[in-house]
Chains A and B, each alone.
Chain A
Amino acid sequence: MIDFPASWVQYLVMVLGGLLLLLSLLYLQNAFRHGGNSGANILTSGIFIAGIVVIAWFSLGLLRDVDWSSTFTIELPAVNPHFFGS
């Protein structure tokens, strides 16, 4: 049985999510640098940002019930101590 703080999962998700958001910002910067302020560029970038907001909003809403100050437990399978002989 392994116990670990739930906040570890929270931090891991925040780090990975932060990296993905940074990647999004780089893509947006690239789009406007080389594509200019054309209508198609603004529209697609707006849709992209809206999609990110929707994903973040839904996931944060679903994770609201998780108690991040608690402890998670992973049950390990029972190991027979006599498996390799007594």
Chain B
Amino acid sequence: MGISISNISKSYKNVKALQDISFEVKPNELFGLIGPDGAGKTTLFRILTTLLFPDHGTATVAGFDVVGDYKEIRKNVGYMPGRFSLYQDLTVEENLNFFATIFGTTIDENYDLIKDIYVQIEPFKDRRAGKLSGGMKQKLALSCALIHKPKVLFLDEPTTGVDPVSRKEFWEMLKRLQQKGITILVSTPYMDEAALCDRVALIQDGRILQIDTPKAIVKHYPKPIYNVRSDNMYQLITNLKDYEFNHSVYPFGEFVHYTDSRTDFNPTELQHYLESKNLKNIEIHETDATIEDTFMELAK
């Protein structure tokens, strides 16, 4: 009942959106598709939800072929597109009712599935969907995608443009849905959300860079990574990039993530170099790699 994708390719005119993509999503798995804008995430979602034909390759969703059995897939999946796609001039309740009706069910029938999510927006059920805040819109969209109890749920960048608190809540909801036996494929450009998935696929320019559990991905990062900080961050980045032994320099929150090209790297040496550049309050200590570091390393 999961998803199986083999050798899928898709091109738009001159752009290769997807190049020979293959992976499996196990039944009842929360699978993340992580990659920047334009990586091909939405194209892959549209192929899996039977909205686009692949140029090459085959895929099945819940055991049904995306080309041949498209009618079955359309009955059995929930799809939440990247753009808010509900009726803005209908109220919260009318939207939910509409989607329940067209899937041949009612709100009452599957209420327990959406209850956790819907109670949060129920106080606003007479409000037009267009007048909801970003977080509430996403909750409503998720409720609408779930109302027919889908076997597989496709969420295309559900947290883009949503505030951090709502994002966190949203992921907690996904975890609970997973416990109810729904297979979930979710895409996001936020690397920090990747850690919340069972497994993730890193995707860029239509190619899969790596597929593994978030922990394994981080563990396989090839080099020790250092948090570097000083009083002048901008100058620090410039100086690090000029440093002859640098392997990678990426700003990361209040620190700069630095890796060295040598195997016998000594942080004190770097400290001296930075001091010679008149930087003050320099801090250098080793840290754990994140998914983002892995992604940058793989995408290099």
A and B interact: no
Chain B residues near A (Cβ < 8 Å): none
